[in-house]
Amino acid sequence: MSAFETIIGLEVHVQLNTQTKIFCSCATSFGDEPNKNVCPTCLGLPGALPVLNREAVKKAISFGTAINATIHQNSIFARKNYFYPDLPKAYQISQYEIPIVGRGNIEINLESYNKTIGITRAHLEEDAGKNIHEGNISKVDLNRACTPLLEIVSEPDMRSSDEAIAYLKKLHSIVRFLGISDANMQEGSFRCDANVSIRPQGDSKLYTRVEIKNLNSFKFIQKAIEFEVERQREAWEDGRYEEQVVQETRLFDTTQGVTRSMRGKEEAADYRYFPDPDLLPVFIDEALMNEGRAIPEMPDEKKARFVEQLGLKPYDAGVLTSSLELSNYFETMLECGASAKGALTWLTTELLGRLKGEKTLTNCGVDAPTLATLVKCIEDNKISGKSAKDILDVLVKDGGGDVESLIDSMGLAQINDDGALLEAIRAVLEANADKVAEYKSGKDKLFGFFVGQVMKSCKGANPARVNELLKQHL
């Protein structure tokens, strides 16, 4: 089999969570009645003039700051001309020559190595509407038209689908931590176009790239890239590369797991870019620049803090900072008094391990203060770890509850009274005098037998204290 290198570049469209659209005052809310949130400006009616949304610019600056990018104080909006049913103006207002966010980079972390991925640009633009196909009928909903997008264009630096997914997950995490987008992939707030090509190992030439359009789940993005790489490799090996691999836009059929040709891929010249005559060149003053640059702690910074200040392992810190929800949940547990080690274990192993089907961290009903209370009860020796697992089972099943009440109602309070424990120990040892003699003669494994008998006779006994007292007594 011939050896090929995969070349992947990604264009990610992030819907910014502004209250209004990028060039008008229409709402950006999702799921409203079709064609409700429209006006002459986003419909492109004669005489309607666009006005740039200041908040969208600020959010773009925040992203640029997070990826160590050049922020252009002066930028220009252009018209990108093409016809499509969901684009009422027959052009899209975008940025081409001078975007707000220039070159930057992010570091991705894979199992055995880290890698820096270059970002060419991140520019503001308006979204198109949405085509809805029902049988032989096609409808257009223009609620989404003119919604602010930040298009993030990577360098072709990724060499596998794993690297592409790691990059996308890091990007997803960054925009969520910044609070500039909900990045909901199901609702189209975070979607990706993948540019894929291959070349023989050792070759430096870039060959024909194929664009796979509008992918909106990590699973399907990975499958689409892997299928396309295999399709191109087979075409090359069969001597049909130039015939079968042409510059085009393809869609991914999620049912069949294959990419299908959609249309020829345009070049920049086909879009006839020119500065939008209705919009003045953008100048970002120092006040807005400073607002945009005031960003919260980013995932990499938070991970480093968890390692340095809390003593967590880098892998565990990476898991906790992989999503905003997980990170916030963990830090709330710490604020409520749980130890870092206890919070980590009971959040990532115990709670997440119990969330099946549609249950997630945000809808399972077990909030961070509740789980922190459970952890503190273990750490204060009020209940055993086994009892805590039983309580967590009930909390997840019932969608929440009160830990202290469950301890009482389930009779799981741990006995820490030395007097009661010593009495149980004496009774067990007197009833098993022959085994005591065997233990003292060197059969150390019998210690577990004694512990079991004491725990059986004294329900709710603290196992750690039983171990200590048994050793002393024996």
pTM given for the model: 0.84
80 with 271: CB under 8 angstroms?
A: yes
Q: Are 164 and 222 in contact (CB under 8 A)?
A: yes
pLDDT in tens, 255-280: 899 999 887 666 666 788 999 999 99
In CATH, what number does 418-473 get?
A: 1.10.10.410
The encoded tokens of residue 363 equal 């809808």
Beta-bridge partners for 190: 14
Residue type, 448: G
CB 191 within 8 A of CB 12: yes
CA-based max dimension of the chain: 101
CA distance linking residue 146 with residue 50, whole number of Å:
10
Rounded Cα gap, residues 378 and 387, in angstroms: 9
Q: How far apart are CA 320 and CA 41, in angstroms?
A: 43
Instruction: Judge contact between 288 and 61, C-beta under 8 A.
Output: yes
* 122/59 Cα distance (integer angstroms): 11
Give the list of residues 6+ apart from residue 377 with CB closer than 8 angstroms, or none.
Answer: 383, 388, 403, 404, 407
Note the pLDDT tens digit of each residue in 131-190: 888 888 999 999 999 999 999 999 999 999 999 999 999 999 999 999 999 999 988 899
At 190, list the tokens.
Answer: 């975070």
Q: Is 90 left (phi over 0), alpha (psi -120 to 50) or beta?
A: left
Domain boundaries, the chain: 4-291, 297-410, 418-473
Question: 101: which DSSP letter?
Answer: B
Question: Could you identify the residue written with the tokens 């990610």?
Answer: 12
Q: Burial of 419 by CB count in 10 Å (0-12 exposed, 13-18 middle, 19+ buried)? A: exposed
How many CB atoms neighbour CB 263 within 10 A?
Answer: 11
| Helix, strand, coil percent values for the chain (each to nearest 5) | 40, 20, 40
Sign of the alpha-carbon torsion through 266, 271, 273, 279? negative
Q: For residue 28, give both structure tokens.
A: 């950006």
Long-range contacts of 33-36 (CB under 8 A, 24+ apart): 34/139, 34/141, 34/143, 35/141, 35/142, 35/143, 36/143
- Per-residue pLDDT in tens (0 to 9) along the chain, 474 residues: 469 999 999 999 999 999 999 999 999 998 899 999 999 999 989 899 999 999 999 999 999 999 999 999 999 999 999 888 889 899 999 998 899 999 999 999 898 899 999 999 999 999 999 988 888 899 999 999 999 999 999 999 999 999 999 999 999 999 999 999 999 998 889 999 999 999 999 898 989 999 998 788 999 999 999 999 999 999 999 888 888 888 889 999 988 999 998 876 666 667 889 999 999 999 999 999 999 999 999 999 999 999 999 999 999 999 999 999 999 999 999 999 999 999 999 999 999 999 988 889 989 999 999 999 999 999 988 888 888 999 999 999 999 999 999 988 887 776 655 565 666 667 766 777 776 676 677 777 766 766 666 667 666 666 776 666 667 766
- Class of residue 345 by CB neighbours under 10 A (exposed 0-12, middle 13-18, buried 19+): middle
In angstroms, rounded to a whole number, what is the distance separating the alpha carbons of residues 29 and 24?
14
DSSP 112: S
Q: Cα separation of 406 and 324, whole Å? A: 30
Which amino acid is present at 11? E
Q: What angle do CA 30, 95, 142 make, to 5 degrees?
A: 30
CA distance 399 to 212: 40
